Structure 1
């Protein structure tokens, strides 16, 4: 991987002056069209993915603003949506494109900020509705299944009397139990027996959580494939392997990865899944089954530290270059409609 500049420059200052909408700074966005200001919604600029996006934008000659969504103040008035940062003196007015990196713990507030930028006419690489869909595992699976994309057989249960039949439908036990909203393998449990499933489900129900019972794909053997999609192409992919004694392959759960030359069938499924979810940037997780790829989840704010480390691909630059191209295309559309 190519050398990286320091991330200390380029973010943090938010101009206090400007119009309510996005002012395209220095000419049309994109390489050769003047400096572009890329906004990154992230709670911490020290996070690997945020830091890499800042570095890549700077390397390409553009500016960045890292904005914590929790410090964004949304102001609404007739035809004049505004965002202020860290108080009501600094109005955010010069962003040419925004990359939302919304953590699951602040989904509701984060999506409100994304919606506000959309109302202000700022191009977004992943808008609020696609992000919200991806955070809801049941809704995601409903959309994917309707589109003919293969998924593990899944049942939503809400009562103990349904557990036995639900396990029969998914071919278990064993079976996978998942909370409808969760990331990084949190809220995902392997139930080896019907009694174990009942105990776990009752615990989750008592906490007011909705639960999915899902088919256990035994032949995947604790592995899955993460395909990183930007725009209409798969930038890179890796096979993730769960650690010993663990069935979840998430890197945050101790999983390891190896670069994989993605078969064309997996590539097609990853791109189609993203199209169905209407996402521009995402990580598509697929299980390797005897019948081909089965999509289990789509992450709309994918971290890529492990992907860059194990594949050597400069994912951050691919994302920034796409964001610049998207901003340029949106500006042309606005000019054409003027």
Structure 2
């Protein structure tokens, strides 16, 4: 019997439930584990994870569903399972790299992945010069830690950009300034990668009066077919980051597709409902295959 654990703080969440059902359909033994309640034993011998007062044993694979607020501890839990020889569908270092927006963009760009032109402002005083170098307002302002569009603002004037940078400075937060891709017209493409394949893709179009194309903010979504170039770009980005499961967000610009972000714990609800693809099933199958390969190496 294949023993699978889903690391999730919300057992009733759509993505968690979808994965749970897909595993049960395959007659796997599956349980949802709240990673915040996992206690990690480090004793110089064999690492162990304790949960609900008992030592976790016999786990063949783990599928992490780690929220942004729990990144550091979630990664520590994943790393502990790795040290125990358990297959993890998302590696701890891959999660940390993808969650660090600045480091992720630096790494992708250094390896030839096209991304939007981006500045990191160390001081608000530099913002006028940086906005000019990006082609002038409007520019997109981002916090280093943002999710579902929170902390992402369109500065339509230089003064707005400067004011936002000053606020960020008071919070001891560096500011990310990114070029605004006008031709994308408030839309982006989400490509869902499982293993070495893009299993589904959709285009998201922002609601009227909104430039952020997050479904949580009322955007509409439609099934879309990626070009051959876009597919190769998406797979290259996930391969570089070491991710088996990822949501890659693309902007279609006049100079070609640009990777805006790589999500290491992408939601399933919007894209499964839009495309009709059983992404949860693909994740379960890929996880089983990965765990089987790891088991074979141990023999």
Report the TM-score, using the length of structure 2 for normalisation: 0.98
What is the CA RMSD across the aligned residues, in angstroms? 0.9
| Residue number among 64, 89, 108 corresponding to 2:30 in the alignment | 64
Aligned to 2:148, the other structure's residue is in SS state coil
Structure number with greater Rg is: 1
Matched, 1:162 2:126: yes
The Cα shift of 1:269 comes to 0.5
| Residue number among 270, 274, 278 corresponding to 2:234 in the alignment | 270
Aligned to 2:272, the other structure's residue is in SS state helix
CA distance in structure 2 between the aligned counterparts of 1:135 and 1:183, rounded to whole angstroms: 10
Residues 164-215 of structure 1 deviation map (CA, whole Å, 9 limit, x = unaligned): 1111222121000111122211111100111101111111221122211001
- Do the aligned partners of 1:53 and 1:320 also contact (CA within 8 Å) in 2? yes
CA distance in structure 1 between the aligned counterparts of 2:124 and 2:198, rounded to whole angstroms: 42
User: Aligned residue for 1:286?
Assistant: 250
Q: Which runs of 5 or more structure 1 residues have no equivalent in the other structure?
A: 1-34
User: Aligned residue for 1:46?
Assistant: 12
Give the total of aligned pairs: 299
CA distance in structure 2 between the aligned counterparts of 1:214 and 1:292, rounded to whole angstroms: 17
CA distance in structure 1 between the aligned counterparts of 2:293 and 2:162, rounded to whole angstroms: 52
- Do the aligned partners of 2:128 and 2:162 also contact (CA within 8 Å) in 1? no
CA distance in structure 2 between the aligned counterparts of 1:127 and 1:57, rounded to whole angstroms: 20
User: Aligned residue for 1:73?
Assistant: 39
Q: After superposing the two structures, state which structure 1 stretch, 158-167 or 318-327, moved more.
A: 158-167
CA distance in structure 2 between the aligned counterparts of 1:302 and 1:79, rounded to whole angstroms: 35
CA distance in structure 1 between the aligned counterparts of 2:18 and 2:294, rounded to whole angstroms: 25
CA distance in structure 2 between the aligned counterparts of 1:243 and 1:85, rounded to whole angstroms: 43
User: Aligned residue for 2:184?
Assistant: 220
The Cα shift of 1:332 comes to 1.1
CA distance in structure 2 between the aligned counterparts of 1:148 and 1:119, rounded to whole angstroms: 32
Aligned to 1:180, the other structure's residue is in SS state strand
Q: Which runs of 5 or more structure 2 residues have no equivalent in the other structure?
A: none
User: Aligned residue for 1:147?
Assistant: 111
- Do the aligned partners of 1:135 and 1:182 also contact (CA within 8 Å) in 2? no
- Do the aligned partners of 2:19 and 2:281 also contact (CA within 8 Å) in 1? yes
CA distance in structure 1 between the aligned counterparts of 2:266 and 2:163, rounded to whole angstroms: 32
User: Aligned residue for 1:28?
Assistant: none
Alignment of 1:152-301 (within 5 A): 152-301=116-265
In terms of fraction of residues, the more strand-rich structure is 2
Report the TM-score, using the length of structure 1 for normalisation: 0.87
CA distance in structure 1 between the aligned counterparts of 2:173 and 2:9, rounded to whole angstroms: 26
The Cα shift of 1:53 comes to 0.2
Residues 201-237 of structure 1 deviation map (CA, whole Å, 9 limit, x = unaligned): 1112211222110010000000000000001000010
The Cα shift of 1:129 comes to 0.7
CA distance in structure 2 between the aligned counterparts of 1:37 and 1:186, rounded to whole angstroms: 36
CA distance in structure 2 between the aligned counterparts of 1:47 and 1:281, rounded to whole angstroms: 18
User: Aligned residue for 2:275?
Assistant: 311
Q: After superposing the two structures, state which structure 1 stretch, 164-173 or 131-140, moved more.
A: 164-173
| Residue number among 20, 33, 51 corresponding to 1:85 in the alignment | 51
Aligned to 1:182, the other structure's residue is in SS state strand
Instruction: List structure 1 segments (4+ residues) > 4 angstroms apart after TM superposition.
Output: none
